[in-house]
Amino acid sequence: MVVTDSSDSGTILRVRGPLEFRCQLDSTDALLMHKVISRTFATLHSQVKSESCVLTVCESPVIIWPNKGVYVTPEEITPNTLCEDIHQWIQTDEQESAGKRSSKKKSKKSSAASVINLSLMMEATKTGPLSAPILRRTLQKSHFLSTTLPMDCVVRITCSDTIKDAFECLMEALTHQLLPDSQLETHRKELHQQFELQGDWPYFRRANAFHFPNELYKDGYLRNPHMVLTHPTLDNGKVYLVQGIYSYHHYMQDHVDDNGWGCAYRSLQTICSWFQQQGYVERAVPTHREIQKALVDVGDKQGSFVGSRQWIGSIEVQAVLNQLLEVTSKIMFVSQGSELASKGRELANHFLTEGTPIMIGGGVLAHTILGVAWSETTGQIRYLILDPHYTGAENLQVITDKGWCGWKGPDFWDQTAYYNLCLPQRPKVI
Amino acid sequence: MGRSYIVEDAVEGYLSELCEQRAGSVTGLLLGQSSPQRDFVVTATRTPPTEETLAGNSVDKEWVTEHARQVSRMLPGGLSVLGVFIITDTEAKDTLTTLRQLVFAVENLISSETLWSPAEDDVTDCVALHVNRKTRKTFCRTFDVKDPKSTAKPADWKYQSGVCSSWGMVSCCLLVDMLVPLPDKRTDPEYMDKCLKEELRGWAQQVESGVCLIDGKKLAEDAEFPGGQKRNVRQTYTAQILITPRPLVLLCQREQRLAEVERRCGGSVSLTGAVHSRAYLHSNKPKARLAEKLLKRDAVSTVATRVQMLLEELLTSEEENKSSGKHKREHCLPHRVFCPLKASRPLCVCDYQFSDESVCEVTERLKEMLDIDADEGDLDTRQESPAENTEREIAAEPTMETVVAPEPKRNTFIGKTLCTPSGLHSLITSPAILRLVTMQAETFIP
């Protein structure tokens, strides 16, 4: 969990490293399989807690044994050294040697928190003598599970933390990664209390991971394209925006040619991505087929609907959100587009309390509303629209320049058509 | 400019003895360490006589190379087969072709078995020594074995006493813990051999790219290895190796996607335990990275050699292959035993002793392969203990029960669970660990 408090440019310790998960399942009994898998996790857990667990500071000769009384090499560093001093040992591009930097060459202080990267490793040597290896062969038709668990863990340290404090904290965080989300609810409650956070925003679920600035999103979707826009300033007006992260879903993505019929599906995908990325759900964003199947499953559509190119509307969006994500939504109806101008207060309230993207469908088009700029006194209103009809590549420049994500005025809507809006309600859990 | 071989005095005596012993040609191997500036020959051993070689004057090339392969397994890190010698009554030029063939054959066979990749700074010259029986004159040349077309280059051959007296040694005790699936349809020993080799290759890379600490410190690449020419300075160092886990890479990757999490298998093979690994370093200002390289290579080859020896045994004894169904077999790998080279102290050679062998079989092998006369008392058997079988190990695992319930303070979370190498697998049977995991989630208090 990382709180980027800009008033204090502290240091973040980040440890990354793979843990090998391997086990043999010689039974198809679910309970036994579960036991074996649990035991393997337990083994990994104890590896991380063992004296063989080692953290090496990247680009430096500093190595720490966190479970051996936080033993550090080189000897100039002790467990009571201030953790921030590790920076001085990290080799930058300007330097050749792996030794301590001269104190004159301090790195520029930036307002962003600096990161000390660590690698998780295991010490493969021990003091001997130990017994020679044994080869065990099991011959039985079974299943073999093997995967690499990419451990990735962060703690934030203050300037007064010693290495001992910081690394003990880091190790706890790391070992908690070997427990599933559900087991950690108590832990999250404690953290919420500690940081005095609202009781109903899931800050600490896995999905709400801090996004490190130099990492790209691997799935290729743009995140929050609206953030690069300049928001309108209205007299006595305020801007109310979606809270959190969503991905931009639009026509032609994922090799699905839904040009002309898939706009509501894409808006729904954008909404689902919000719920996934805020950690409310773990399931991936549904495909068109999955959306259609959900509607068949709830009895809203016939079986032939799956695989068809039929449009859906806000009611269907509401039904799918309920079926696949267990999210309830409110429906707002306006009999004519011109009425939308008067919905400023409701929309503002929605973004304040729920903060979820809104799907709006009417006539022949569907869009996603990501925010509203509204003045209570003048009644002026603007809508932040994410347009699913875009068919191009994930080019932020194009998308924002051409208004595929942009602020629109009340005349954006067909003034005589009726509109239904689906306002997803945020589950009040942590 | 040719290479320079600094040769231990005792080798001269040994070669002289061989000159006197019998007629006909005598071949053998020269053992030692190469460095970019010069090479050190620390000992020599004649090719073990067979009926054919005793009878005639011919050189049994296959036996020379096989002998070299077996000797190579008995050399700890830092020592290797540097080349071949031949003692004949003929002129040096007459044996050149034979020597060249032997040198290349020996080198090719040995390198075909190594699991590590050659390094840029490896010396690739091998020595071919001709000794004239009557005159005792030596004629020394080298061949670059990397170049199949290379020609003989002259080299210096100088005797010196106490060549190794200031050599350093770095050692470590390396844990081995591997688990590899056997394919669904092929669980025979040959395939097990292939699967294990593939896994060992991956493990070798893991060790090669691991971080090496000498005496607890990560030394810069170009730093000199501590120790050196002063006689009174301590010369043995302990190393630590830190590794990063790597994903399972299976044999026949074409058949199976690398990223597959779950696969059907016909069984599995695991290898757990520890090996003592060591490497000797010459005293001519060696670099830290040489120590690291030689130690890691020794670690990899000692495990690979033992697995190879075990599999060779299994392949020849076919009894258990016929039965099918659930079948668990356990085999102890041989443990490593060291024997000092009397004339080249502090260096040692080594051999592997299976649990059903006696020490005298080791001394016999040392005599046959390395022409060393050793008593049981000379052998160092303290570095490794014979592998223990599982039943005894589980009973002797008290560390499980001493894991305490987590207390509110952070500190006591740390480090109470000790994982001994074989304990990693017996941990699986302990319910205490499962309890610990669930307790953590409920009682954590920041």
| pLDDT tens by residue, chain A, 430 residues | 444 444 456 788 888 888 888 888 877 777 787 788 888 888 888 888 888 888 888 888 888 888 887 788 787 888 888 888 888 888 765 444 445 544 444 444 443 457 888 888 889 888 866 888 888 888 878 878 777 777 888 888 877 888 888 888 888 888 877 765 555 566 566 655 555 555 555 555 555 554 443 344 567 788 889 988 888 988 888 999 999 899 999 999 988 999 999 999 999 999 999 999 888 888 889 999 999 999 999 999 998 999 999 999 999 999 999 999 999 999 999 999 999 999 999 999 999 999 999 999 987 899 999 999 999 899 899 999 999 999 988 888 889 989 999 999 999 999 989 999 999 999 887 6
Which candidate, B380, B378, B426, places its Cα nearest to that of B399? B426
Torsion B49-B53-B56-B59 (CA) sign: negative
Which candidate, B278, B371, B422, places its Cα nearest to that of B31? B371
Cβ distance A184 to B418 less than 8 Å, yes or no, reads no
- The pLDDT of residue B238 is above 80: yes
Cβ distance A187 to B418 less than 8 Å, yes or no, reads no
Per-residue pLDDT at A3: 46
Could you give the CA distance from residue B267 to residue B199 in angstroms, rounded to a whole number? 15
- The pLDDT of residue B24 is above 90: no
Chain A: closest CA distance from residue B97 (Å) = 43
Looking at the DSSP assignment, which residues form a beta bridge with residue A375?
A237
User: Which of B266, B336, B436 lies at the smallest CB-CB distance from A139?
Assistant: B266
User: Which of B243, B248, B417 lies at the smallest CB-CB distance from A121?
Assistant: B243
How many CA atoms lie within 13 Å of B127's alpha carbon, on the beta-carbon side? 33
Q: Which residue of A has its CA nearest to B414?
A: A67
3-state secondary structure of B134: coil
Angle at A240 between CA A237 and CA A245, to 5 degrees: 155
Per-residue pLDDT at B6: 93
Per-residue pLDDT at A295: 94
Q: Which residue of A has its CA nearest to B417?
A: A50
Please enumerate in sequence order all residues whose Cβ is within 8 A of that of B368, keeping only pairs 6 or more positions apart, or say none: B48
Could you give the CA distance from residue A267 to residue A265 in angstroms, rounded to a whole number? 5
For chain B, give the number of residues. 446
Which candidate, A358, A401, A167, places its Cα nearest to that of A268? A358
Could you give the CA distance from residue B172 to residue A57 in angstroms, rounded to a whole number? 23
The better pLDDT of the pair A130, B415 is held by: A130
The mean per-residue pLDDT over the stretch B104-113 comes to 90
On chain B, the residues whose CB falls within 8 A of the CB of A45 are 433, 436-437
Is it true that the peptide bond before B36 is cis, omega within 30 degrees of 0?
no
Cβ distance A22 to B262 less than 8 Å, yes or no, reads no
Q: What is the pLDDT of residues B161-217, one digit of tens each?
A: 988 888 989 999 999 988 888 887 776 777 788 888 888 888 888 898 888 988 888
Tokens for A107, please give them. Answer: 């790195």
Could you give the CA distance from residue A220 to residue A254 in angstroms, rounded to a whole number? 10
On chain B, the residues whose CB falls within 8 A of the CB of A98 are 218, 220
Per-residue pLDDT at A49: 86
User: Which of B333, B387, B441 lies at the smallest CB-CB distance from A179?
Assistant: B441
Interface with B, mutate which of A28, A100, A121, A137 (most B CBs under 10 A): A137
The better pLDDT of the pair B345, A268 is held by: A268
Report the 3 state secondary structure along chain A: CCCCCCCCCCEEEEEEEEEEEEEEECCCCHHHHHHHHHHHHHHHHHHHHCCCEEEEECCCCCEEECCCCCEEECCCCCCCCEHHHHHHHCCCCCCCCCCCCCCCCCCCCCCCCEEEEEEEEEECEECCCCECCEEEEEEEEEEEEEEEEEEEEEEEECCCCEHHHHHHHHHHHHHHCCCCHHHHHHHHHHHHHHCCCCCCCCCCCHHHCCCCCCCCCCCCCCECHHHHCCCCCCCCEEEEECCCCCECCCCCHHHCCCCCCCHHHHHHHHHHHHHHHCCCCCCCCCCHHHHHHHHHHCCCCCHHHCCCCCCCCHHHHHHHHHHHHCCCEEEEEECCHHHHHHHHHHHHHHHHHCCCCEEEEECCEEEEEEEEEEECCCCCEEEEEECCCCCCCCCHHHHHHCCCEEEECHHHCCCCCCEEEEEECCCCCC
User: Which of B210, B276, B433 lies at the smallest CB-CB distance from A129?
Assistant: B276
Interface with B, mutate which of A33, A43, A144 (most B CBs under 10 A): A144
Chain B: closest CA distance from residue A199 (Å) = 18
Tokens for A390, please give them. Answer: 């875009």
Per-residue pLDDT at B306: 93
Round the average pLDDT of chain B to a whole number and report it: 77
Looking at the DSSP assignment, which residues form a beta bridge with residue A422?
A331, A359
Which candidate, B365, B282, B311, places its Cα nearest to that of B199? B311
Looking at the DSSP assignment, which residues form a beta bridge with residue A123?
B242
Tokens for B292, please give them. Answer: 């690291």
Is it true that the peptide bond before A129 is cis, omega within 30 degrees of 0?
yes
Per-residue pLDDT at B191: 79
Could you give the CA distance from residue A287 to residue A285 in angstroms, rounded to a whole number? 7
Chain B: closest CA distance from residue A274 (Å) = 28
Q: Which residue of A has its CA nearest to B246?
A: A20
Cβ distance A140 to B175 less than 8 Å, yes or no, reads no
Cβ distance B267 to A172 less than 8 Å, yes or no, reads no
On chain A, the residues whose CB falls within 8 A of the CB of B268 are 24, 137-138, 142, 144
Chain B: closest CA distance from residue A128 (Å) = 6
- CA A251 remoteness from chain centre: 23
The better pLDDT of the pair B249, A219 is held by: A219
Tokens for A414, please give them. Answer: 């067909």
Cβ distance B415 to A131 less than 8 Å, yes or no, reads no
Residues of A serving a catalytic function are 263, 387, 389
Q: Which residue of A has its CA nearest to B352?
A: A132
Cβ distance B386 to A135 less than 8 Å, yes or no, reads no
Could you give the CA distance from residue B210 to residue B240 in angstroms, rounded to a whole number? 10
Cβ distance B173 to A126 less than 8 Å, yes or no, reads yes
Q: Which residue of A has its CA nearest to B177?
A: A133
Which candidate, B362, B358, B360, B363, places its Cα nearest to that of B373? B363
Cβ distance A130 to B175 less than 8 Å, yes or no, reads yes
Q: Are B115 and B63 spatial neighbours (Cβ–Cβ below 8 Å)?
A: no
User: Which of A67, A134, A148 lies at the smallest CB-CB distance from B415?
Assistant: A67
Cβ distance B418 to A41 less than 8 Å, yes or no, reads no
Interface with B, mutate which of A78, A120, A134, A177 (most B CBs under 10 A): A134
Cβ distance B265 to A143 less than 8 Å, yes or no, reads yes
User: Which of A38, A56, A123 lies at the smallest CB-CB distance from B434?
Assistant: A38
Cβ distance A67 to B384 less than 8 Å, yes or no, reads no
Could you give the CA distance from residue B446 to residue A176 in angstroms, rounded to a whole number? 13
Chain A: closest CA distance from residue B301 (Å) = 14
Chain A: closest CA distance from residue B226 (Å) = 16
Interface with B, mutate which of A36, A139, A147, A177 (most B CBs under 10 A): A139
Cβ distance A125 to B240 less than 8 Å, yes or no, reads yes
Cβ distance B242 to A122 less than 8 Å, yes or no, reads yes
Could you give the CA distance from residue A319 to residue B113 in angstroms, rounded to a whole number? 65
Cβ distance A132 to B207 less than 8 Å, yes or no, reads no
Burial of B392 (0-12, 13-18, 19+ CB in 10 A): exposed
3-state secondary structure of B183: coil
For A419, phi then psi, to 5°, come to -130, 145
Tokens for B123, please give them. Answer: 């010396």
The mean per-residue pLDDT over the stretch B21-41 comes to 88
Chain B: closest CA distance from residue A293 (Å) = 28
Cβ distance A148 to B272 less than 8 Å, yes or no, reads no
The pTM of this model reads 0.65
Q: Which residue of A has its CA nearest to B303?
A: A133
Q: Are B244 and B157 spatial neighbours (Cβ–Cβ below 8 Å)?
A: no
Interface with B, mutate which of A21, A90, A138, A190 (most B CBs under 10 A): A138
Cβ distance B264 to A139 less than 8 Å, yes or no, reads no
Q: What is the pLDDT of residues B273-309, one digit of tens each?
A: 999 999 999 888 888 888 999 999 999 999 999 998 9
Chain A: closest CA distance from residue B324 (Å) = 8
How many CA atoms lie within 13 Å of A232's alpha carbon, on the beta-carbon side? 19
Q: Are A281 and A297 spatial neighbours (Cβ–Cβ below 8 Å)?
A: no
- Other CB atoms closer than 10 Å to residue B166's CB: what's the count? 19
Q: Which residue of B has its CA nearest to A74?
A: B217
Which candidate, A415, A74, A9, places its Cα nearest to that of B218? A74
- The pLDDT of residue B379 is above 50: yes
Work out how many CB contacts closer than 8 A connect A with B: 296
On chain B, the residues whose CB falls within 8 A of the CB of A194 are 446
On chain B, the residues whose CB falls within 8 A of the CB of A146 are 181, 247-248, 261, 263
- B157, B161, B167, B171: CA torsion to nearest 10: 90
Per-residue pLDDT at A214: 35
Q: Which residue of B has its CA nearest to A28?
A: B264
Cβ distance A137 to B239 less than 8 Å, yes or no, reads no
Could you give the CA distance from residue B284 to residue B222 in angstroms, rounded to a whole number? 14
Any idea which of B23-32, B156-165, B434-443 has the lowest mean pLDDT? B434-443
Q: Which residue of A has its CA nearest to B273?
A: A133
Chain B: closest CA distance from residue A30 (Å) = 15
The mean per-residue pLDDT over the stretch B377-386 comes to 86
